[in-house]
Amino acid sequence: MKVRSKVFKRKTGRGKGSWVVRLEYDDEFGRHRCVERRARGKSEAGDLRDRLSDEIQKSLGHIRTGERMTFGDLADYCEKHYYKRAEYVDGRRVAGVRSLQPARSAIAALRQHFGPRLIRTIHKNSLLDYKVKRLNTPVATKKNNGSSALAQRPRRIASVNRELTILRRMVKIALSEGWLLRDPFAGAGVISVADEEKRERILSRDEEARLLEACKDDRRIVETTRGGKPYSIEVEHRRSHLRPLIILALDTGMRRGELFKLHWNDVDFERRVIRVRGTHTKTQRERTVPLTRRAALVLTEWRQSNKKEHVFPFADVKAAFSAVRKMVGLEDLRFHDLRHTAITRMVRGGISPSEAGKVAGHTQPTTTYRYINTDMESLARIAAVLERG
């Protein structure tokens, strides 16, 4: 790109007597562009000319857009072209993102903080300020007593890291478009994965038995009032649909999203395997997962009452799963801990971490090692080995 520049002292008009830098060039669409900037002296004007010319060359002329672009503008562009519903070709994602809602939530938080701010004014300290502010903003949650009142809990650093990761990608998009020439994340060190609280929750066999035992439908009489008069109502609690879901999570190590997207034609009862489609996985790689006898049996029984295309045709099970875990005193248990437990059990049972990683759908060995935990049983076994030695 050819940039023509001129440094001169204005002789007339409002800026009379001031030094001016004028740069002219044709952009990639053939449109003529002109940029003018004032300087405080001839020497400063020369330096400004060199800097502006370099910026125009490096950005292919787009830096002018970047000078006026706010974070809100960048967010609009990214949501339109990048953070949209995933599009697939031959089973491979070619555009968009798989998990759209988390990305939109992160961008909404970023918009609230940076909003009308020019993207060129976002520096390392701006990122640090955002991180501190978000960590000091508690999260509103529902109380465990079933009331409509909200409680508060500290915001997890992992959540803030995910928001900053979204922002880092948006910055990279701005850099690739030539709207930014400097990466504020370079050397900032604001995304600190090492500071994240690691989950090490493994379900014991006793806890598993209690959890599955609670997965039953029941009817209860609830006493309430209407119009100031007491009356009773029979309420049905459906929890039996959790049993096959929990067993499959524990016996296959599949992710929650993979389980909810599972079709009956992906289950091979004869060979006792499940095909996890590439479009349903986090890594977009298809894999085959073995079925235990227990999992095959519970799926066979479940199929008799569920004739729909999806094995688990529910939108979500958060409420039912939360109710079951509270019934058996496992309030600290999360659904993802079932996958965690499955992978740990694989390795503890003699399966190599590499094989366990393939079944779990990990692309990096380090990911599998994060799932392998040492509980009290493992520590006792290690101590016994050391004592023998």
Class of domain 68-195: mainly alpha
* Per-residue pLDDT tens digits of the chain, which is 389 residues long: 688 888 888 888 777 888 988 888 876 667 787 878 888 888 888 888 888 787 777 766 666 666 788 999 899 989 998 998 878 777 677 788 877 888 999 999 999 999 899 998 999 999 999 999 999 999 887 665 555 567 788 888 889 999 999 999 999 998 888 888 789 999 888 988 766 666 678 899 999 999 999 998 777 676 777 777 777 766 667 888 999 999 999 999 999 989 999 999 999 999 999 998 877 777 778 888 999 999 999 999 999 988 889 999 887 888 889 989 999 999 889 999 999 899 888 888 888 888 888 888 887 777 777 666 655 566 666 667 666 75
Give yes or no for a contact between 182 and 124, defined as CB atoms under 8 angstroms apart.
Answer: no
Degrees to nearest 5, angle at CA 369 with 244 and 192: 105
What's the order of all strands across the beta sheet hosting 4-9? 4-9, 19-26, 32-39
Q: What is the dihedral of CA 271, 277, 282, 287, to 10 degrees?
A: 40
Burial class (CB in 10 A: 0-12, 13-18, 19+), 105: middle
**Could you give the residue ranges of the DSSP H alpha helices within 34-156?**
42-58, 63-68, 71-81, 100-114, 124-135
Task: Write down the pLDDT at residue 379.
Answer: 60
Question: Where in the chain are the domains?
Answer: 4-61, 68-195, 205-388
Number of alpha carbons in the 13 Å side-chain half-sphere of residue 384: 6
What's residue 249's pLDDT?
A: 93
Asked if 232 and 223 touch (Cβ cutoff 8 Å), the reply is yes
Quick one: CA dihedral 288, 289, 292, 294, positive or negative?
negative
Q: What's the confidence (pLDDT) of residue 373?
A: 61
Which pLDDT value is given to residue 41? 87
Contact 49, 57 (CB under 8 A): no
Domain 205-388 = CATH 2.40.30.10: no
- What are the C-alpha distances in Å from 113 to residues 78, 91, 126, 202, 225? 17, 37, 10, 38, 45
Provide the whole-model pTM.
0.61
